[in-house]
Amino acid sequence: MRSYILREVPINRIHFFKSRGGEKIEKDIRSIIGISSSTSMKLWLIITIGLFRLHVQAFCPSTCICDETHPSGRCENAQLSFVPTLLDPRLKSLNLAYNTIHSISDVLQYYELLEVLDLSHNNISNLGGDNFAVQKRLKDLNLSFNNLTHLDSKVFNGLKSLFKLDLSHNFISEISKSVFSSTPKLNTLLLSKNRLHTLNSVSFKGLKNLQVLDLCDNFFREVPRNCLTILENLETLLICRNRITYLKEFDLINPSLVTLSLLSNSISVIDGNALKHLINLKSLDVGDNLLGEIPSVSFKYLHSLESLDISRNKFSIIRNKVFDDLQNLNEIHISRCPYLEIIESRSFSQLRNLKNLVISHNKELTNIPPHLFSPITSLRIIDLKHNNLHSLSESSLPLKSLKTLDIRDNPFVCNCSLLWLGSLINEPNASIDITDVKCNEPDKLRGIYLSRATSSQLLCVDIVLQIVIGVIVICLSSVLIFGLFYFICRLLDKTPKIP
């Protein structure tokens, strides 16, 4: 019943009342009460004004949650097909996500003070032009999960304070020039999950303060370098899950870049100079591509790199010194490489700052060379789970500095060579958090945890006993050899000599 009454109140009247917050009206009531001699008149005035205040407060739809103290409205999943126009005009935050809104034409003019607007998960197909013209204070605009196919050149006019814009999960296939010319403060632009396949040199004109750009899940066949060169302050560039096959020289000439993701493309070649301008790059993800070898020549310029992911590629060997130029590297991920068989013994030896090393889920990797990790005293975490390792040498690990060792789900052959590992797992005050492992061989130990296998089951005997047995074997062998020699000599002496 309240909502029907409220819709009859003129919008300008509502704005007037709200802007004054009822404070002056309440003062007027007290003034009237003080000078009136009629008690009935006083009572009538109080009731009338009280009812009017109730009506104004009821302009929040029943399916919304409104907060007048910190002016905000939450109308997500409220079954709205249009943007409500009778909400508090002082709103700073308005959430209209998960509705069926299809148009925003001429409705946002009533909310000039908005700083956060969420229109995600609606049916908006066209934003028109100048619909945000009065949103001078808007900082965060979410238009993701709609049906947008294009952006009018004037669509963002007025958004001079906009900091973050989310246009992901739409159907945008092109971006007209000057679209972002009215958003000079834009810091984060999310365009993932659209239908972009090319961008021209002025697509991002005016975005001098842009630091984060997400172009993942589009249809790019090459890095859109023409439009990236003007982004002087770009720090994070995500071009994952596109169709890029070749990373060329001058594709990336943004020295400000700190994070670069080329995950899940079809890159088979990275030019030797493709990364040379990225002198401040700290995180690089080229996982899930078609690299037949680790591009060490391309990496030689990345002296600031701290995190590298080369998982899910096609290389079969990690060669010596391949990472030697990455002196600041502290994290490497090399997982799910279906052809990886060999890791040479000095592949990581120069990485003095490496702390976290993940080499997991490589089904062709059967061996870890002795001393592979032991020189890297900075290592704290080693993840070798889900490989095809049969054994692991104690000398391959930096046990004094290591904090975590994960070697689960490898087909270990439990024999005397793993006695040290079982002892380490069972040590109550061990400084290393180490996962227990199950034996795969021999048959009598299959499925048994290594920590529960005895030294005799591992075919290990006491060292003193080994020495005694060794001495006895040597003595018996010596006696046997001497006796055989003596017998042969006697036999030769008895042989008749031919005159």
3-class secondary structure for 441-468?
Answer: ECHHHCCCEHHHCCCCCCCCCCHHHHHH
pLDDT score, position 494? 63
Hey, which residues does 213 pair with through a beta bridge? 189, 237
Quote the CA–CA distance of 114 and 69 in Å, as a whole number.
15
Concatenated DSSP letters for 302-330? -TT--EEE--S----EE-TTTTTT-TT--
Rounded to a whole number, what is the distance in angstroms from the first to the last CA of the chain? 142
pLDDT score, position 497? 55
200: nearest Cα among 162, 174, 237: 174
pLDDT score, position 489? 75
pLDDT score, position 318? 98
pLDDT score, position 350? 93
Q: What is the pLDDT of residues 74-110, one digit of tens each?
A: 999 999 999 998 899 999 999 999 999 999 988 999 9
CA 208 to chain centre: 25
pLDDT score, position 21? 39
The structure tokens 């009822």 sit at 22
Query: In 199-299, which ranges are E strands?
Result: 212-214, 236-238, 246-247, 259-261, 269-270, 283-285
Instruction: Give the torsion through C-alpha atoms of 297, 302, 307, 313, to 10 deg.
Output: -20
pLDDT score, position 496? 62
Cβ proximity of 261 and 285 under 8 Å? yes
Hey, which residues does 117 pair with through a beta bridge? 94, 141
Which secondary-structure segment (H or E) carries 67?
strand 65-67
SS3 content of the chain, % helix, strand, coil (to 5): 20, 15, 65
pLDDT score, position 450? 84
Using CA atoms, how far residue 13 sits from 53, 86, 465, in Å, is 12, 11, 101
Cβ proximity of 323 and 348 under 8 Å? yes
Q: What is the pLDDT of residues 328-378, one digit of tens each?
A: 999 999 999 999 999 999 999 999 999 999 999 999 999 999 999 999 999
Quote the CA–CA distance of 99 and 123 in Å, as a whole number.
8
In 10 A of CB 258, how many CB atoms? 17
Using CA atoms, how far residue 424 sits from 253, 388, 405, 451, 459, in Å, is 49, 21, 11, 9, 18
pLDDT score, position 418? 87
Quote the CA–CA distance of 309 and 263 in Å, as a whole number.
9
Q: What are phi and psi of 132, to 5 degrees?
A: -110, 20
Amino acid at 243: R
CA 123 to chain centre: 29
pLDDT score, position 227? 92
Q: Whole-model pTM?
A: 0.81
Query: What are the pLDDT tens digits along the chain (499 aa)?
Result: 333 333 333 334 343 333 333 333 334 443 434 444 445 454 444 444 444 444 444 378 889 999 988 999 999 999 999 999 889 999 999 999 999 999 998 899 999 999 999 999 999 999 988 999 999 999 999 999 999 999 988 999 999 999 999 999 999 999 988 899 999 999 999 999 999 999 988 899 999 999 999 999 999 999 999 899 999 999 999 999 999 999 999 999 999 999 999 999 999 999 999 999 999 999 999 999 999 999 999 999 999 999 999 999 999 999 999 999 999 999 999 999 999 999 999 999 999 999 999 999 999 999 999 999 999 999 999 999 999 999 999 999 999 999 999 999 999 998 888 888 888 888 887 778 888 888 888 888 888 888 887 777 776 755 545 666 777 888 887 778 877 776 777 666 666 655 5
